[in-house]
Amino acid sequence: MTDPVQLLAAGEVVALPTETVYGLAADATRADAVVKIFEMKERPFFDPLIVHLPGMDWLERVAAIPPGDRELFDALSGRFWPGPLTFVLPRRAIIPDIVAAGLPTVAVRRSAHPVFREIIERFGKPLAAPSANRFGRISPTSREDVLAELGDRLHVVDGGRTEHGLESTIVQIGGGRISLLRAGPVTKEMLAEFAPAAAARANELPAAPGMLKSHYAPRTPLRFAADVREIPPRCGLLAWRSRETDGPFARVEFLSEKQDLREGAARLFAAMRRLDEAGLDLIVAEEVPETGVGAAIMERLRKAAATRDP
């Protein structure tokens, strides 16, 4: 078997599992390696990437923590790292412009997935690793999803189905407050235990990954149930409240039979992908409660529905 560490050292891209979704990994310190990620994903260069750290000793080699924010950063990272929390911090010169989309900041996190950690620790350098799918599409939560999305264009390390099924939470800290740039498994309520947390205002260009209005989208148009007046013959349901499989829908995918938001988050992208591959004319999504990780589910669904007309 090809050693993924050798491929990374040669400047190649490797698909790796994390606890959130599968990522396309390349040496974050080499622009020539990172450009291959953008080419493979067909990703616009104005959309920055997350840099994954092999250990805490790399943190201040790639990012600067303003002295006034050190205590809050240490509290949050001590609680949620390794794990699905990303910080946007002032970047150091070691991070190429292409990784940060020319911004003065860099997004950093440490993955908790044992396979990812073993590989990045052996590699010994930071990895840029956005989701392993074409830009704007549904993020992959299994090796099979990556292969369906990108085919045999790269080496994929199998780490099983991902735990959370949603991309990491992204935050920016300053002045003793937390700006929530992207909702994820670390919820607003969990962050609020450490400092006031509020969603950041949207900018024209993204300050962090996943902030574009239209994202995580299936090819099949997706609409919320409250916005649909007539059900077409070939229509699928992404169900939260509904329990019956018979009715006007050609296919039904349940996020969670017991209405567990964590389970729903873990199943979201896989359920969307199955509906997208079913040859439907429309996907109807039921809204979930926007408490805890439900806010992250609804954020993904709203972006999947944006600019899509049935």
Is 287 in the same domain as 142?
Answer: no
**Residue 251 falls within a domain, yes or no?**
yes
**Residue 207 falls within a domain, yes or no?**
no
Tokens encoding 137: 């599409």
Strands 155-156 and 14-16: parallel
Is 187 in the same domain as 239?
Answer: no
Is 184 in the same domain as 247?
Answer: no
- CA–CA distance, 184 with 148 (Å, rounded to integer): 24
Which helix H or strand E contains 237, and what residues bound it?
Answer: strand 235-239
Instruction: Provide the whole-model pTM.
Output: 0.88
Which helix H or strand E contains 106, and what residues bound it?
Answer: strand 105-109
What is residue 105's three-state secondary structure? strand
**Residue 208 falls within a domain, yes or no?**
no
Which residue shows structure tokens 């991309």?
167
**pLDDT, tens digit only, all 310 positions of the chain:** 589 999 999 999 999 999 999 999 999 999 999 999 999 998 888 889 999 999 999 999 999 999 999 999 999 999 999 999 999 999 999 999 999 988 999 999 999 999 999 999 999 999 999 999 998 899 999 999 999 989 777 899 999 999 999 999 999 999 999 999 999 999 999 999 999 998 876 555 556 666 566 667 889 999 999 899 889 889 999 999 877 666 789 999 999 989 999 999 999 999 999 999 999 999 999 999 999 999 999 999 998 998 544 4
- CA–CA distance, 104 with 92 (Å, rounded to integer): 9
Residue 203: its pLDDT value, please? 56
Is 54 in the same domain as 124?
Answer: yes
Residue 45: its pLDDT value, please? 85
- CA–CA distance, 167 with 303 (Å, rounded to integer): 14
Residues of the domain holding 281: 222-305
Number of folded domains that form the chain: 2
Is 172 in the same domain as 263?
Answer: no
* Greatest Cα pair distance in the chain: 59
- CA–CA distance, 34 with 38 (Å, rounded to integer): 7
- Domain containing residue 106: CATH number: 3.90.870.10
